[in-house]
Amino acid sequence: MTWETVIGLEVHVQLLTRSKMFCGCANKFGAPPNTLVCPVCLGLPGALPVPNEQAIRLATQAARALGCTVHTRSIFARKNYFYPDLPKGYQISQFDQPLATGGTIWCESPERGRIGIGVTRLHLEEDAGKSLHDRIPGKTAIDLNRAGTPLVEIVSEPDLRSPAEARAYLTILKQILVYAEVSDCNMEEGSLRVDANISIRRPGDPKLGTKAEVKNMNSFANVERALIVERDRQVALLESGGRVEQVTMLFNAASGTVKPMRSKEESHDYRYFPDPDLPPLVLTQKWIEEQHAALPELPEPKRERFMTRYAITAYDAGVLASERPVADYFEAVVGAGAEAKSAANWVMGEAMSGYNETGRFSVGAERLSKLIGLVKEGVVSLQAAKRVYPELVDGNEDPRAVAERLGLIQVGDADALGAWVEDVLAANPSEVERFRGGEVKLMGFFVGQVMKKSGGKADPKAVQPVLVEKLKN
């Protein structure tokens, strides 16, 4: 019997603001514990929250980038629960009137092709602090640097049908948010966190099965792994006549298993109510449109533009548009005069391997464009150009000068080529004999030998006529 998997994701993303959501403390990762705190984020008696305009701006941009409707009026609400890393005993969040609702994220499903996944809502909230269980033996330490960090929570519809689709959705979501410079979406530093809801049902069944929530995944790969494990657990349970309980499962990456959280930890009644310290968040439609207009071109439209404007393949366009620095670099290289297809090959090849290692492009677009031009003009061969490239890294020498210094300028002069050709023919008498006996496909062999002899300097197009001439004799 077959089962249909139904997955919805709740993604928390920290916003790239300078300061926290409701106070002036710096929003940054990695400072010594409890150094980025003030009366507001410590929840001291008498302190009051004041919303950070930049956080609202970024959340609005994120919402629009995901195709959501941003509401001109939304409400901050208190979510009440006790925990030592929650200084006020409540989290300021949004509940029944969120900032934005109703978006779509388009992604590529390995099973279903291109799919649109509904975004139920996007709301603003503040992060809690961190409980550190490994700093002080036998005790839990609290670091409140993170308390009050601005977050958006992005909730998807239960539209995902496999763990692989969940991963594809997250990949695209991250791509968009990083593009929009809303968040760095760094899962290791916790600036993107994923909770997944998963249930199974018979295909065609309109009713959703009982869901479990899966938490504690620290990479997209682990989200996929955890969901596979949880799906298999539910299938096994139902097929053996059992029932799925509504539980929260914690994923253990080391063992690749999920195990239920103690029920005491999750039986919360959050008693949401509008936060009386914060007036309704009222935005004008004009302001919302301004934030939208300030968004950069997003990956999907950019990919399409690359295909039509530069006549490159969908695959190449997709790779080049996947990250903003890559796309910007590619367009800079083309803008400096390089032919687009060659530019695409260079950017995805040599340049990309450097970028993947160092996180930046170390050859200026202008100089890469010049190098590509040298190949096109026949001044250097493609092979030779690939030897020139490493010399260009972090330098400012002109590509042609490098090619000259390395003696890689192509030689097309018949006299110079004649000497190399004669050497090659003299060194391979039996092949010469066979060629003259009619084995014309050996021409390639001779060209290759001449290229080798010339150290890549010979212009292959000019070599052949010289060979033909000499082999006649």
Partner 1 sequence: MSAVESAANAVREGRATAAVGAKEVASRLEKAAALNAALSWSAERLDAEASRVDGATPSERAKMPLAGVPIAVKDNIVTTEQPTTCGSRILEGYVSPFNATVINRLRAAGAMIACKANLDEFAMGSSTEHSAFGRVKHPDDPSRVPGGSSGGSAALVAAGVVPAALGSETGGSVRQPASFCGIVGIKPSYGRVSRYGLVAFGSSLDAVSTFGRTVDDAARVLAAMSGHDPLDATTIAQPPLVLDPPRRDLKGLTIGLPAEYFPRDLHQGVRAGLDRAIKAVKELGATIKEVSLPHTRYAVPTYYIIAPAEAAANLARYDGVRYGQRRVGPAGDLRALYQATRGHGFGAEVRRRILIGTYVLSSGYYDAYYRKAQQVRALLAEDFRRAFDTGCNMLLTPTTPTPAFKAGEKTEDPVAMYLADIFVCPVNLAGLPAVSFPVGRSEGLPLGAQLIAPNFAEAKMLSAAAALESAVDAAAEVR
> Per CB under 8 A, which of residues 396..455 are in contact with partner 1?
none
Contact between 286 and partner 1 per CB under 8 A:
no
Q: Is 441 exposed, middle or buried (0-12, 13-18, 19+ CB in 10 A)?
A: exposed
Contact 167, 282 (CB under 8 A): no
Q: Is 269 in the site for partner 1 (CB under 8 A)?
A: yes
Interaction between residue 46 and partner 1 (CB under 8 A): yes
Name which of 45 and 206 has its Cβ closer to partner 1.
Answer: 45
Only segment of 10-18, 49-57, 66-74, 208-216 that touches partner 1 (CB under 8 A)? 49-57
What are the Cα distances from residue 437, in Å, to 283, 444, 471?
Answer: 85, 16, 11
Distance CA 210, CA 223 (A): 19
Q: Which of 69, 80, 120, 252 binds partner 1 (CB under 8 A)?
A: 80
If the CB atoms of residues 274 and 364 are measured against partner 1, the closer one turns out to be 274
What stretches of 340-459 show up as alpha helix (H) in DSSP? 340-346, 352-358, 365-376, 382-392, 399-405, 414-427, 429-436, 443-453
**Whole-number minimum distance, CB 237 to partner 1, in Å?**
28
CB 168 within 8 A of CB 110: yes
Longest CA pairwise span in the chain (Å): 101
Span near partner 1 by CB under 8 A; candidates 87-95, 251-259, 368-376, 378-386: 87-95
| Site for partner 1 contains 104 (CB under 8 A) | no
For residue 67, state whether it binds partner 1 (rule: CB under 8 A): no
Interatomic CA distance for residues 170 and 175, integer angstroms? 8
Q: Does 282 bind partner 1 (CB under 8 A)?
A: no
Q: Which is nearer to partner 1, 119 or 147 (CB)?
A: 147
Using the contact rule CB under 8 A, the part of the chain among 83-91, 242-250, 367-375, 393-401 near partner 1 is 83-91
Terminal Cα-to-Cα distance of the chain (whole angstroms):
77
Say how far apart CA 410 and CA 454 lie, in whole Å. 9
Q: At what angle do helices 443-453 and 460-472 cross, to 10 degrees?
A: 120
Number of residues this chain uses to bind partner 1 (CB under 8 A): 29
User: Is 39 one of the binding residues for partner 1 (CB under 8 A)?
Assistant: yes
Residue 82 contacts partner 1 per CB under 8 A: yes
| 90 contributes a contact to partner 1 by CB under 8 A | yes
For residues 79 and 167, which CB has a smaller minimum distance to partner 1 in the complex? Answer: 79
Answer for which of 30, 32, 45, 203 binds partner 1 (CB under 8 A) is 45
Q: Within the chain, how many helices (H) and strands (E) appear?
A: 17, 16
Q: Does 142 bind partner 1 (CB under 8 A)?
A: yes
What pairs with residue 153 in β-bridges?
12, 123
Question: Is residue 30 within 8 Å of 184, Cβ to Cβ?
Answer: no
User: Interface mask (CB under 8 A) for partner 1, residues 326-365, using x and -?
Assistant: ----------------------------------------
Give the pairing type, strands 113-126 and 130-132: unpaired
Asked if residue 266 binds partner 1 (CB under 8 A), the reply is no
Q: Which residues bind partner 1 (CB under 8 A)?
A: 39, 42-51, 78, 80, 82, 84, 87-90, 142, 269, 271-273, 275-279
